[in-house]
């Protein structure tokens, strides 16, 4: 009999499988409907031998030393700082909006101090920052908001920024200096041999069995297990009792191009033209050398795999109802982006999973000697 059935072999499920097996000696069955481990972070070589991210660009960045050190047990790293350009008014300019963005867009040569004055002169100060529109117009005014954010957001979410929580566009900084990195986290690096290799190592413990191409509902009555860790959509788990939680989907169009380099940076955003939001060239992320190059276009979709929870207050209310059901189901732990309906990055999911593991240990879920030793340490 398995001690735990873990539904989903992405970051949430894999971290918990690894911890429970290696630290507590638990027997784990981890199951995924997909044909591979790694969840949305899965990468693989395409037919041309180029390492690609099947579900769009995944760039690892974190301020958490604990998370970075934890993952470092399973991979070496390749330093990588992410840079993005946006196609606006016929030019490719840095996003996050910074000094160079404004100078190039308007043919100016402002200094950082002058840019602060410029932003102050165009900003629409808001007393309460509530929506994703408020966040941007409050800082850089309506014109830059419309050039960079309004249409991209409408494409990505099929919703106006004024209908989305402030947390969505708050993900993207605004700068008055020339720093053109997308993230400023302390740790920014990619797994040296890719995410999938890292997941393989995490799940290589002899106590962990992996079952692919299978929905957990197919095996519930067939394979005995003790407790469950669930990382799929929370509304699905409860058979949509209160209705569907909205998740936004994407369609990925992958291509190989017969040239070593396609675009000047890893990601180019297209806020205003095209039906896709962005184009990613993977070789920048992976460091792979290859005479050809692999790119992916992202087309936002209403239907399809659930990729993004949609941050809006009514969705948070609906999630709360499901969360109450989850709280009343103590034999199942709900973890990860879909099961806790949070727009989390990979590092936040790892941190959440490590926290759940700590709680399992603290709850005295296990009486083995090893568990007691672990308890003494936390
Ligand atoms: P998932 O990776 O979604 O894993 C859940 C797994 O559960 C899936 O594999 C699914 O198949 C499985 N499952 C669901 N239902 C069932 C069922 N009934 N039975 C069996 N299995 C089931 N984060 C970053 O930090 N940096 C980035 O650059 C970044 N870029 C992203 C780009 C895109 C396009 C997307 C969509 C996300 C991005 N993320 C990024 C977020 C990142 O993908 C997530 O934080 C992380 O992968 C979530 O891990 P998870 O384990 O919670 O969920
Ligand atoms: N966004 C935008 N224009 C951009 C980049 C981002 O309007 O050029 C908005 C958009 O709403 C997007 C959100 O900011 O969904 C978060 O951007 P991020 O790059 O973090 O999106 P993710 O990588 O999670 O898809």
Ligand 2 centroid from CA 57, angstroms: 13
Asked whether residue 225 falls in the same domain as residue 344, the answer is yes
Q: In a 10 Å sphere around its CB, with 0-12 CB exposed, 13-18 middle and 19+ buried, how is residue 223 labelled? A: middle
Average pLDDT over residues 183-207: 98
Boundaries of domain holding 149 = 84-169
Of 117, 147, 169, the residue that ends a domain is 169
Asked whether residue 28 falls in the same domain as residue 152, the answer is no
The reported pLDDT for the residue numbered 365 is 66
Residues paired with 297 in a beta bridge: 253, 279
- 142 inside domain: yes
Say which DSSP state 93 is in: E
Ligand 1 centroid from CA 308, angstroms: 9
The closest alpha carbon to 174, from 211, 119, 224, belongs to 119
Asked whether residue 116 falls in the same domain as residue 12, the answer is no
The reported pLDDT for the residue numbered 376 is 43
What is d(CA 189, CA 336) in angstroms, rounded to the nearest whole number?
21
- 332 inside domain: yes
What is d(CA 358, CA 342) in angstroms, rounded to the nearest whole number?
20
Inter-axis angle of helices 132-145 and 112-122, nearest 10: 110
Ligand 2 centroid from CA 225, angstroms: 40
Ligand 2 centroid from CA 145, angstroms: 12
What is d(CA 19, CA 202) in angstroms, rounded to the nearest whole number?
9
Asked whether residue 163 falls in the same domain as residue 90, the answer is yes
- 14 inside domain: yes
Inter-axis angle of helices 99-106 and 112-122, nearest 10: 70
Ligand 2 centroid from CA 195, angstroms: 22
Please work out whether the CB of residue 285 comes within 6 Å of at least one atom of ligand 2.
no
Position 373 pLDDT exceeds 70:
no
The reported pLDDT for the residue numbered 22 is 98
Asked whether residue 350 falls in the same domain as residue 215, the answer is yes
CATH number at residue 328: 3.40.50.720
Please work out whether the CB of residue 95 comes within 6 Å of at least one atom of ligand 2.
yes
Which ligand has the shortest distance to the CA of 60? 1
The reported pLDDT for the residue numbered 145 is 98
Asked whether residue 227 falls in the same domain as residue 331, the answer is yes
Asked whether residue 134 falls in the same domain as residue 23, the answer is no
Nearest residue (by CA) to ligand 1, atom 10, is 8
Which ligand has the shortest distance to the CA of 55? 1
Say which DSSP state 181 is in: B
- 160 inside domain: yes
The reported pLDDT for the residue numbered 114 is 98
Asked whether residue 91 falls in the same domain as residue 147, the answer is yes
The reported pLDDT for the residue numbered 211 is 98
Ligand 2 centroid from CA 172, angstroms: 7
Position 37 pLDDT exceeds 80:
yes
What mean pLDDT, rounded, does the chain reach? 96
- The model's pTM: 0.96
Nearest residue (by CA) to ligand 1, atom 30, is 58
249, containing H or E segment: strand 247-257
Position 378 pLDDT exceeds 90:
no
Asked whether residue 106 falls in the same domain as residue 239, the answer is no
Asked whether residue 97 falls in the same domain as residue 32, the answer is no
- Record the tokens describing residue 243, joined without a space: 């209705």
Ligand 1 atom at shortest distance from the alpha carbon of 344:
45
Residue with tokens 């873990």: 6
Please work out whether the CB of residue 182 comes within 6 Å of at least one atom of ligand 2.
no
Residue by residue, DSSP assigns 104-167 as HHHT----HHHHHHHHHHH----SS--BHHHHHHHHHHHHHHIIIIIHHHHHHHSS-GGGSBHH
Ligand 1 centroid from CA 285, angstroms: 18
pLDDT tens column, 264-306: 999 999 999 999 999 999 999 999 999 999 999 999 999 999 9
Asked whether residue 222 falls in the same domain as residue 359, the answer is yes
Please work out whether the CB of residue 68 comes within 6 Å of at least one atom of ligand 1.
no
- 197 inside domain: no
Q: How many CA atoms lie within 13 A of 72 on its CB side?
A: 14
Please work out whether the CB of residue 345 comes within 6 Å of at least one atom of ligand 1.
yes
pLDDT tens column, 326-372: 999 999 999 999 999 999 999 999 999 999 999 999 998 654 444 44
Residue by residue, DSSP assigns 206-220 as TTEEEE-S--HHHHT
Total number of domains in the chain? 2
Query: What confidence tier does 319 reach under pLDDT thresholds 50, 70, 90?
Result: very high
Which ligand has the shortest distance to the CA of 145? 2
The reported pLDDT for the residue numbered 366 is 55
Please work out whether the CB of residue 56 comes within 6 Å of at least one atom of ligand 2.
no
Position 377 pLDDT exceeds 70:
no
The reported pLDDT for the residue numbered 292 is 98
Q: In a 10 Å sphere around its CB, with 0-12 CB exposed, 13-18 middle and 19+ buried, how is residue 151 labelled? A: middle
The reported pLDDT for the residue numbered 371 is 42
Average pLDDT over residues 166-183: 98
Please work out whether the CB of residue 191 comes within 6 Å of at least one atom of ligand 1.
no
Please work out whether the CB of residue 183 comes within 6 Å of at least one atom of ligand 2.
no
Q: What percent of the chain has pLDDT over 90?
A: 96
Asked whether residue 101 falls in the same domain as residue 223, the answer is no
Nearest residue (by CA) to ligand 1, atom 23, is 345
- 365 inside domain: yes
Average pLDDT over residues 119-145: 97
- 113 inside domain: yes
Please work out whether the CB of residue 150 comes within 6 Å of at least one atom of ligand 1.
no
Position 374 pLDDT exceeds 50:
no
Considering Cα of 189, then 193, then 195, then 200, what sign does the dihedral take?
negative
- 72 inside domain: no
pLDDT tens column, 50-89: 999 999 999 999 999 999 999 999 999 999 999 999 999 9
């Amino acid at each position: 009999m398995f001690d735990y059935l873990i539904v989903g072999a992405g970051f949430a499920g894999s971290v918990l499988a690894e911890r429970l097996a290696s630290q507590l000696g638990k027997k784990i069955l981890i199951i995924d409907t997909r044909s591979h481990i790694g969840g949305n972070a899965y990468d693989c070589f395409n037919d041309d031998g180029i390492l690609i991210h099947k579900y769009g660009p995944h760039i690892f960045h974190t301020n958490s030393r604990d998370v970075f050190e934890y993952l470092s047990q399973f991979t070496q790293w390749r330093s990588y700082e992410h840079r993005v350009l946006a196609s606006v008014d016929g030019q490719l300019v840095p996003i996050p909006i910074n000094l160079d963005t404004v100078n190039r867009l308007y043919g100016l040569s402002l200094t950082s101090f002058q840019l602060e004055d410029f932003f102050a002169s165009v900003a629409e100060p808001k007393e309460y920052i509530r929506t994703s529109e408020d966040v941007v117009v409050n800082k850089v005014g309506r014109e830059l908001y419309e050039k960079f954010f309004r249409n991209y957001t409408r494409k990505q979410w099929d919703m106006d920024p004024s209908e989305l929580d402030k947390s969505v566009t708050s993900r993207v900084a605004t700068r008055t200096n020339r720093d053109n990195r997308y993230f400023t986290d302390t740790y920014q690096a990619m797994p040296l041999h890719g995410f999938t290799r890292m997941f393989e190592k995490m799940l290589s413990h002899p106590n962990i069995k992996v079952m692919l191409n299978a929905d957990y509902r197919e095996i519930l009555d067939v394979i005995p297990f003790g407790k469950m860790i669930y990382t799929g959509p929370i509304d699905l788990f409860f058979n949509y009792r209160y209705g569907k939680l909205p998740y936004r989907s994407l369609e990925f169009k992958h291509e190989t191009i017969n040239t070593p380099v396609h675009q000047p940076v890893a990601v180019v955003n297209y806020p205003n033209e095209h039906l896709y939001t962005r184009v990613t060239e993977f070789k920048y992320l992976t460091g792979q050398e290859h005479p050809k190059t692999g790119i992916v276009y992202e087309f936002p979709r209403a239907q399809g795999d659930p990729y993004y929870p949609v941050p809006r207050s009514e969705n948070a209310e609906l999630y709360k109802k499901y969360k109450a059901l989850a709280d009343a189901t103590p034999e199942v732990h709900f973890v990860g982006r879909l099961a806790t309906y949070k727009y989390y990055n990979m590092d936040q999911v790892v941190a959440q999973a490590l926290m759940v593991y700590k709680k399992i240990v603290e709850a005295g879920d296990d009486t083995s000697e090893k568990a007691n030793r672990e308890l003494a340490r936390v």
